C-alpha cells in the first residue's frame, strides 16, 4: 500500500495490521501462477508432502506395473525394527502362528476375533459331518487343486500388469526431505535409491529444480492429525483427512513392504470398514445416510488405537533428510 514517506503514512490509508498483512499474503499466493506440471507429467512421477508426528517432509511417488519394479530391500531395516520386540507370536489350536500387532488394539478387536472363531468352528463341524464321502471329496479336491493352479497362474499374470506404488526409498526406508532444495540436491547427487530403476529417472534428475517441488492438494497428507481427530469422536471426524490417510498408508505399506499395516487395512478389517463408511457418507443420498449410520457403530477408541499403530510403524521406517 502506498505511503507518502517512510515516517509518515498517508492519513487516509491506515497501516496494515497483522491480520491484514496475512490476508494480503494469502491473496498474493493465490494470484501466483500454478507450478509447471509439464515435467511431472512427462516423467510420470509426482512430488508428495507427508506430515508425521516428527515433522513434515517431501518425497516422490510414482505408479508402475508390478512386473517393472524390484521391491525395496528390507533386510537391514527389519534387523533394527523397534516394533519387532513388541510383536508376540502365539500359536492357535490349529498350530497357526498369529502376530499380535498392538496389545490394546488387539484387545478391543477381540470380540470380532471371537465371532470369526465361532464361524470357523461351525465350518469344522460341517466338514466332519461330510467326511463320509471321502472318495468323492478327494476327487473334488484334485479338480479344485488343478483349477486353483490355473487361477494362480492367471492371477500372477494379472498382478504383474497391476499398477503399484513406488516411493523414493532405499533399503526399506522412506526418504523424507525437510526442504525442496535438499530433495533436489539428493536427486541430482546420483545417490542410490529405489526410484532410480524407473526409465524416466535420469530425465527427472537432469531437469528438476526446487521450484518444481510443489505437491498438489491431493498429494499432501496429514498423518500427524489422524489419531487426534479420531479421538475427538464421531461428530469431529474429518472424512477427507481420514480417507486420504488410508490411501497414503496403503501405498506406503505396499512400497515399504509393511505386511502388518496392509493387514490392518485389508478388506474386512475394522479400519477398512471405517474407510468404506467414510467414503459412503460423503457421497450423499441413501448411500450417504447408510454410511453415516455405519460410522456411528464404529468405536472411536478402537479406530484411534489402530491408526496410532499404523502411524507409528510408518514413522519407524522413515529416514529424515535435511
Mind listing the pLDDT tens digit of every residue in the chain (322 residues)?
443 434 444 445 445 455 565 555 455 445 444 567 999 999 999 999 999 999 999 999 999 999 999 999 999 898 776 555 455 444 334 444 444 455 556 666 665 555 556 655 555 555 555 544 555 545 555 555 555 445 444 444 455 679 999 999 999 999 999 999 999 999 999 999 999 999 999 999 999 999 999 999 999 999 999 999 999 988 899 999 999 999 999 999 999 999 999 999 999 898 999 998 888 887 766 566 676 778 888 888 889 999 999 999 999 999 999 8
What pLDDT, on the 0 to 100 scale, is given for residue 227? 96
- Asked if 246 contacts 303 with a C-beta cutoff of 8 angstroms, the reply is no
Q: What are phi and psi of 153, to 5 degrees?
A: -60, -40
What pLDDT, on the 0 to 100 scale, is given for residue 120? 58
What pLDDT, on the 0 to 100 scale, is given for residue 155? 46
What pLDDT, on the 0 to 100 scale, is given for residue 285? 61
Tally Cβ neighbours within 10 Å of residue 25. Answer: 10
Q: Name residue 175's beta-bridge partners.
A: 319
How many angstroms separate the CA atoms of 161 and 213, rounded? 29
How many angstroms separate the CA atoms of 39 and 140, rounded? 56
What pLDDT, on the 0 to 100 scale, is given for residue 174? 98
Residue in this structure with the C-alpha cell 470380540, named with its chain if needed: 111
Do β-strands 163-167 and 55-65 pair in parallel, antiparallel, or remain unpaired? antiparallel
Q: Residue 57 gets which letter from DSSP?
A: E
pTM of the shown model: 0.70
Q: What are phi and psi of 18, to 5 degrees?
A: -60, -40
What the block records as the C-alpha cell of 32 is 501466483
Q: Is the dihedral of CA 34, 35, 40, 41 positive or negative?
A: positive
What pLDDT, on the 0 to 100 scale, is given for residue 321? 95
Q: In angstroms, what CA-CA distances link 51 with 177, 314, 319? A: 11, 11, 14
What pLDDT, on the 0 to 100 scale, is given for residue 20? 60
* Residues sharing a CB contact under 8 Å with residue 47, sequence separation 6 or more, in sequence order: 40, 58, 59, 60, 183, 212, 213, 214, 215, 219
Amino acid at each position: 500500500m502506498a505511503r507518502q514517506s517512510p515516517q509518515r503514512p498517508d492519513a487516509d490509508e491506515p497501516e496494515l495490521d497483522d491480520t491484514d498483512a496475512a490476508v494480503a499474503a494469502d491473496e498474493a499466493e493465490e494470484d501466483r501462477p500454478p507450478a509447471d506440471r509439464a515435467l511431472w507429467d512427462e516423467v510420470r512421477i509426482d512430488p508428495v508432502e507427508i506430515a508425521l508426528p516428527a515433522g513434515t517432509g517431501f518425497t516422490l511417488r510414482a505408479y508402475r506395473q508390478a512386473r517393472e519394479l524390484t521391491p525395496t530391500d528390507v533386510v537391514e531395516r527389519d534387523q533394527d525394527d523397534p516394533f519387532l520386540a513388541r510383536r508376540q507370536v502365539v500359536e492357535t489350536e490349529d498350530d497357526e502362528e498369529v502376530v499380535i500387532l498392538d496389545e490394546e488394539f488387539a484387545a478391543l478387536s477381540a470380540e470380532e476375533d471371537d465371532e470369526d472363531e465361532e464361524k470357523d468352528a461351525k465350518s469344522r463341524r460341517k466338514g466332519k459331518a461330510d467326511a463320509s464321502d471321502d472318495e468323492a471329496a478327494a476327487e473334488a479336491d484334485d479338480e479344485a487343486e488343478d483349477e486353483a493352479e490355473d487361477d494362480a497362474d492367471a492371477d500372477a499374470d494379472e498382478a504383474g500388469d497391476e499398477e503399484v506404488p513406488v516411493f523414493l526409498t532405499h533399503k526399506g526406508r522412506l526418504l523424507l526431505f525437510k526442504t525442496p532444495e535438499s530433495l533436489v540436491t539428493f536427486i541430482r547427487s546420483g545417490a542410490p535409491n529405489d526410484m532410480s530403476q524407473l526409465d524416466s529417472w535420469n530425465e527427472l534428475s537432469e531437469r528438476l529444480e526446487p521450484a518444481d517441488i510443489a505437491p498438489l492438494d491431493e498429494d499432501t497428507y496429514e498423518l500427524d492429525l489422524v489419531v487426534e481427530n479420531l479421538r475427538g469422536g464421531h461428530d469431529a471426524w474429518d472424512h477427507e483427512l481420514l480417507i486420504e490417510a488410508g490411501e497414503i498408508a496403503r501405498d506406503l505399506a505396499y512400497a515399504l513392504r509393511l505386511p502388518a499395516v496392509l493387514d490392518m487395512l485389508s478388506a474386512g478389517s475394522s479400519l477398512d470398514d471405517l474407510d468404506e463408511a467414510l467414503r459412503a457418507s460423503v457421497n450423499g443420498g441413501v448411500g450417504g445416510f447408510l454410511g453415516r449410520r455405519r460410522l456411528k457403530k464404529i468405536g472411536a477408541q478402537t479406530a484411534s488405537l489402530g491408526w496410532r499403530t499404523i502411524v507409528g510403524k510408518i514413522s519407524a521406517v522413515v529416514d529424515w533428510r535435511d
